[in-house]
Structures are given as structure tokens and as C-alpha cells.
A and B are shown apart, each in its own frame.
Chain A
Amino acid sequence: MLELVARAIIAGTPLLIASIGEIYTERSGVLNLGLEGIFVLGAATSFVTTLYTGNAYLGLLVGGIFGAFIGFLHGIVSVSFRGRQVVSGLALTMFSYGLASLIGKSEVGKPLPTYIYVGDIWMELIAIEILIAVAFWYILFKLKLGASIRSVGDNPNAAEALGVDVVKVRILSTVFGSFMGGVAGAWYILGYIQVWTEGAGMGRGWIALAIVIVSAWNPLLAPVFSFLFGGIEAALWRFQLPPYNLDPYLLGALPYLATLVILFMFMATPIKKYFRPPASLGEPFYKEERTI
């Protein structure tokens, strides 16, 4: 049982990193569906980096930088160019899939010289992660920085009138969230599965996006759901083995089914009232246009 909890924490860590980053992005009014691709790209680039440098922490950083780069593209296209956020995000996910494949292809399956081992310190890991979630909550809800981010996500026109640089804040929040997404993908390889195959990490970004919704865009709730999904993933492992011997494919559908059910449960019940998304999420900002 304890082993299962430890595995849940370890499997949930990348989801937590990615979802906290995306909470910041979405609080600024930008939906980044590129997160999925960023996660996969972060995984591939960190793997190759660590393979060549032997430094796992450098791997984390490089994963984050590639993520930030994709996030910057998303910011330019969807914030500056006012492209549809959904389309831009999907395009970047495809692009990142492709880039990950180009970068990692020739290194498939090579053993990592080093990785980040957290198996022994999972209890400390929980404490650290909860502290991090609290810190991000504090920044978002108590500091002027957080007020700036939330203002451009709720009412960008008023924010601009108050003197907030909406375009800058939105782009930087997107870059930050994407950096976290890249780090998350890197952690997924270096701290969790420790091997890279083509497509490693696919699907995790989507789940992180769902965690953002059910966490009500609040960093304090993100650990709860990240560990829940981590737990489901850890449990899958266990149920494939004797005495359960459940079918791996049917089990493989479970995280996605769980996501769907949890999303549904939140939206179809009165809880929904407390879970209002940022008022201008997904909407482009037009400074110069006159509102009649």
C-alpha cells in the first residue's frame, strides 16, 4: 500500500508541475493546448541532453527551455496575432510531436547514464510539492504579480486601462507555463520512467489540462488531482500483475475514462458554481477596437 502511495506521488509529480504552469497560463486568459506537445518535446529533449551531457538537471533545464520556446510561439500567434488559441495550441502540439520525433529518433532505447532518483524521499517530495503549490497560490492571490496575471485573464480591457501590459503579461504567463510543461516532460523521463521511446509522454499533457479545470484554476487543489491521477497510473501497473491479471489495454483506457468521468462530475453537479473559469479565457484581446 505504501509502495502504491509512493508510486502515485512519483507518477503525479510531472502532472503537478505541468498543471501548475498551465494554471498560470490560463489565469492570464490563454488556453495552451500546446501543453501536450510541450510535455512530449520536454521529454525527448531532456533525454537527449542527459544522454550526451550526463547531467540530469541540465536535462530538466533544456526540457524547460524547449517548452518555453513553444510557449513563446503560442504567445506570438494567439496573443499578438490573435489567432484562435485552440488552433494555435493544436498546431504546436503537432509541431512538437514532430520535433520530438526528429530529435530523439536516433537515440531510442539507449540507457540513461543518470537520472533523478526520488524513490527513497517520496515523503519529503510530497512536502516540497505541497509547499510549492502553496507558494504559487500565494503569488497568484496575494502579490501584485498575481493580480496582474488574473486581471488580464478576467477583464483585459479594464486591465489595460489600469496600466497592465496585457500582451506582455499574457505572453510571459504562457512562456512560464510552457517552461513548466517542458520541465514536467523532462521529469517524466528523468524522474519517473527513465527510458525514452518514440511518443513517450503522449496524453499526459491532456490530463494536465483536465487537472487545471477540476482544480478550479487554483494551485492549492492541483496536488490533490495530480496525485489522484498519479495513483490511477500506479494502480494500473499493479493490476496487470498477478493475482489480478487485468488486460493492459482495458486498463490503459482507465486514466482517460477517469478524466472524462471526473470532468463530467464537476460540470454536472452544483460544485460547478465554485469553479468558474477566468472570465476571458480563450478570448483574444483587441486593444484598439472600440467597444460600442
Chain B
Amino acid sequence: MSRGTTPQNLFFNQEYREALAYMKDISKSFYGNKALNNVSFNLRKGEIHVILGENGAGKTTLVKILAGLYSPDSGEIFLEGKKVNIESTRDAIKYGIAMVNQYPQLVEELTVADNISLSLNNVGLFNQTSKIGDKIIEISERYGFRIQPWKEIMNLSFSERQRVEIIKAIMLDAKVIIMDEPTTLLTTKERRLIYQFMKKAKADERGIILITHKLSEALEIADRITVLRKGKVVDTVDVSEATYEKLMEMMFGRTVAIHEKILKRGLGETTSRRVLEISDLSVKDNYGRLAVNGISFHIHKGEIYGIAGIAGNGQIELVEALYGLRKPVKGDIKIMGKNYWEYSKKEIKRIIGYIPDKIQDAVVLDMPIYENSILKLYDTSEYIRNRFIIDYDRAIEYSSQLIKNYYIAAEGPDVYAGYLSGGNLQKLVLAREISIDPPLIVAVNPTRALDHFSTEFVYETLYKFKETGKAVLLISEDKDEVLRLSDRISVMYEGRLIEMGRREDVDVDLMEEYMIRGQNED
């Protein structure tokens, strides 16, 4: 709407140009996929502006452009009416733009003071990083953060890291503060602290951009709300005009029934046959610390077992031990009634379908789809002729099937995996793992990079899979995902498992509490 030249639009342009930050007609694509398509956005002084949208709508891409992490393919950025060029985070910091990342972007081996000093222009290259220690302690105390400046990031928990990012933003004294889903993984109390911080910043005439997919949060804190869908702006509305239903419709369009997202499936029929049985399992992480601490659970046939938890509480170490990538320090794993060590390494890979957290670890980006589709089967009789020659004709045929059946957006089986979008890679791995037809699927955050429709498709696929009498171990940061799919649920916190019981018995508030602090707050 800012492209015309009618007097009306000129007036709008004027207002936009005087905004604290005005992003005009921004487009950005990755590997030829449009992530942002002519998006315009403006932020006023002293407002909290929520960007709302589902996964893959382009929210993070948009703010990363403002923060200098990506450069746009086209479009312009104005700060207080002046056109600026933000080519890097340095430029952004120079213009007073700070970002608090959803997944804290900090260097593990460095201390808190080291990390923060890297962002501060008033710390010279030949200054000791420890000189900002006092200031960190002061801010940390003021906000009740309890952060020690000389601690290395690798020894901090996830929420502590997030607090370091917030301290960083405060010390930068930025005019524009971008917060990328900062409250998803916080307790109610911590969330209130963040809201307080945002309101105070707002009173100081700063502008705050808050990214979220939570409608309630948007309605509670926002002054204005911009909704993005599939890389385009649906509209920007004042919070006074916005209702839950209206925002829902803006986010998903008319084609999706509004309540589908909350709808739950019926519980599965569980039989007594256990597919997986884990007892007293302990696993160490890369730094030699105990990441999984004596946990036990089992999964029946025809059951989805959900483990909810914030990243970094030992989930990755657990599944890697299960899949044979990491050696447990103690404990037993039984699969289909047989001891773990009775299976060869190769057999384990075939009886467990595994969708890892980092999907790039499950595909070879510079190989075509057809070679990727046989990653686990390349040396089985199905694909081997004359004892050692791979039957590529068959692999091509097989992968064409996968592309069709799982709606993978690719021109054909000879497209390189590296040219697929994140969501399509995710679907490719899911397709491959399910079509091996293993008794157990382990899926870690299986829908993180996916849009609404693909998410639904993945849920559908996992659900159907379980209904054929198979077992699924679902590990996710998204408690709604766990609640929606799982038959039984537990929460993982600091290497331990807290059983929540069957889904219909789960107290959702308590579950959230456990995810965040491992215990009841009161």
C-alpha cells in the first residue's frame, strides 16, 4: 500500500518515513524459495509491535534483516526518516538496533563478559573484557537475573543464556529492541519480568518488536500487531481492533478450521507388548557432564510417548544413546524384548526410524534425493545387485514414490538435497524413515521448520504409523505438540524424567511448570 502515488498514500509514506524504523518492500529468498515477498513494516517510538505468524511465515527472516544478519534481495530501510544501509550486525548495533534471539547466539567457550563485550563499541580491542563485569552484575541484580559475568556460557542453562542476551540488549542502550519469541521457554514469573522490561523500554521512547506465535501474548502486551503469512503482510492492526478470532483468521486464512489446532485425537489402543524399555539410563554430553541421569521409561506397541522439555535438558543425549551414536555410562535398553547389545550397529539403525533435531545430520546435502533416500538401505538385498553394485534405477524409482507420497517439493529424484528447503528436507527424512517400516520411530522436534499444512501432514503421518501397531517416541520443545499427539507424557528436566501420566490426566499448567524449572514453583 505504500507503492502508489495518490495523495492519500503520500500521506502514509510521510508517516512511515518518520517512524522509528520503516522497512519498505523487503524481499528475500533462500535457494530460490521466497521467504519474504514485498514486505513493508513500521515501528513507532514507544510502542510494542508484535509480529505474529505461524512457523515459516517469515517473521524471523524479517527481523534478522533489520538486525543485519541477512541482507535483503530488494527493499529499503529507514530509521527516523533517514535511509540506512544495514549490511551487518555491526551496522545494526551502530544504529541502535539490538536483537534478543530465540536460541541465544552466544559463544560457548567464552565467558558472559567476553560475549557481551563483543557487542559493545565502547569496549576497546585492548581493554580487558572483565571491566564490564560490575555493570553486568548491577543489571543482573536489578532484574533479578543472577548472572555471573566470569562464567563460561557452556556452563549456563538455556534460560540463563537468554538472560545474558537481554542484559546485552540493555547494555547496548538500543533504540530498537527485537525480541524473537523470548517468552516461549520461560516461567510465568520470568515472563512477567520480560514484560516489565518491555514496558519500561517503551516508556523510555524505545521501540520494541516482539515476535511470537502466541495470540494471547500478542493481545496482552502489544500496541500494534502485524500478521505475516507465507512471506507476505496480511495486515497491521491496532490492538484495540484485534480479537482472537480475527487474528486466527489472519494467520491461517479462511481455509483452516479455527479450532483444528486445539483438536485432540483419541487415545491409542495400547497393548502390553513393549517396543522399547529403558531402565536407569545415564549418558554424558560432549563436555563429559552427566546429561541423562538415570532415567527409565517404556513404550508400548501402538503408542506415542511424548517427552516435552526445553532444549538442552539431555533430550539429544538420550536419543543419541538410543540410536547408538553415543555410549551410555550405565543402564539398560531393550528393544522388542531383546537386549540392546544383541543388535548390530546396522540393525539398530534399521529398527529405529530417527528424525533428528538437526535435520542436516540425516541427509547428505551434496547428493541427489535418490541417493539420500537409500541412506539406510544401500547395502541391503533390495538395492544391491551382484553382491556390491548399487541398483540406482530402483533407488530412483523408490525416491520418486517418496516425493509423490509425501508431497516433497522437488522437480525430481535427481535434485540435490542441498537445494531443498528446510521443510522439504524434514519431509524427506520422515518419508525415508517411515517407509523403512521400523517398529519404533524417534522424532525430535519433527515440525519445527514446517508451516501449518506440513505440520498437519506430519502429525497425520505419525498418527497413522502408530495406528498400525508401531511405537513413536516424540521429543519436542512444543508442549502443544506433545499434548496433541502423545498417549503418555513426561517432561525432561536437567537429565531427569518427570512422569505426567496419560494425556487425559495431565495438568497442563503443572507440565509447563516442570518444563521450565523441574518442580512446582509454589
Contact = CB atoms under 8 A, between A and B. Distances in A.
B118 A144 contact: yes
Contacts of B117: 144, 147
Contacts of B236: none
B288 A162 contact: no
Most chain B beta-carbon contacts within 10 A, residue among A150, A154, A162? A162
B119 interface: yes
Nearest to A139: B126
A154 B105 contact: no
B107 A143 contact: no
A165 interface: yes
Interface string A148-180: 101100110111111111000000000000000
B425 A292 contact: yes
A144 B109 contact: no
Nearest to A160: B89
Given A144-B117, A148-B118, A160-B69, A155 B88 contact: no
A144 B107 contact: no
B126 A162 contact: no
A120 interface: no
A273 B110 CA distance: 18
B127 A154 contact: no
Contacts of B90: 163, 165
Contacts of B93: 163
B110 A147 contact: yes
B11 interface: no
A51 interface: no
B101 interface: yes
Contacts of A161: 67, 69, 89, 99, 101, 105
B114 interface: yes
A41 B119 CA distance: 38
B114 A147 contact: yes
B299 to A, nearest CB: 27
Nearest to B360: A292
B118 A151 contact: yes
A157 B105 contact: yes
B438 interface: no
B110 A150 contact: yes
Interface string B98-112: 010100011111100
B123 interface: yes
Nearest to A161: B105
Contacts of B398: none
B447 interface: no
Contact of B127 (A143, A157, A160, A164): A143
Contacts of B7: none
B197 interface: no
A290 to B, nearest CB: 5
Pick the most buried of A147, A154, A164: most chain B CB atoms within 10 A of its CB. Answer: A147
A163 B125 CA distance: 13
Contacts of A279: 108-109
Contact of B118 (A147, A287, A289): A147
Interface in B404-445: 422, 425-426
Contact of B125 (A144, A290, A292): A144
Nearest to B111: A147
B70 interface: yes
A265 interface: no
Given A142-B130, A143-B128, A158 B107 contact: yes
A289 B71 CA distance: 11
Nearest to A292: B422
A194 B110 CA distance: 43
A213 to B, nearest CB: 17
A227 to B, nearest CB: 28
A163 to B, nearest CB: 5
A114 B283 CA distance: 63
Nearest to B93: A163
A124 interface: no
B290 to A, nearest CB: 15
A257 interface: no
A143 B426 CA distance: 42
Contact of B110 (A145, A151, A160, A165): A151
B395 interface: no
Contacts of A290: 30, 61, 422
A25 B360 CA distance: 28
A3 interface: no
Contacts of A150: 107, 109-110, 114
A161 B124 CA distance: 18
A162 B99 CA distance: 9
A155 B422 contact: no
B119 A163 contact: yes
Contacts of B313: none
A210 B94 CA distance: 41
8 contacts: A143-B127, A144-B127, A155-B106, A158-B106, A161-B69, A161-B99, A289-B30, A290-B30
Given A144-B126, A161-B69, 20 more contacts: A144-B128, A145-B125, A147-B114, A147-B115, A147-B118, A148-B125, A158-B105, A159-B107, A160-B69, A160-B89, A161-B89, A161-B99, A162-B105, A162-B119, A163-B93, A164-B118, A165-B90, A273-B288, A288-B70, A290-B422
Closest 4 CB pairs of A and B: A292-B422, A161-B105, A147-B114, A145-B125
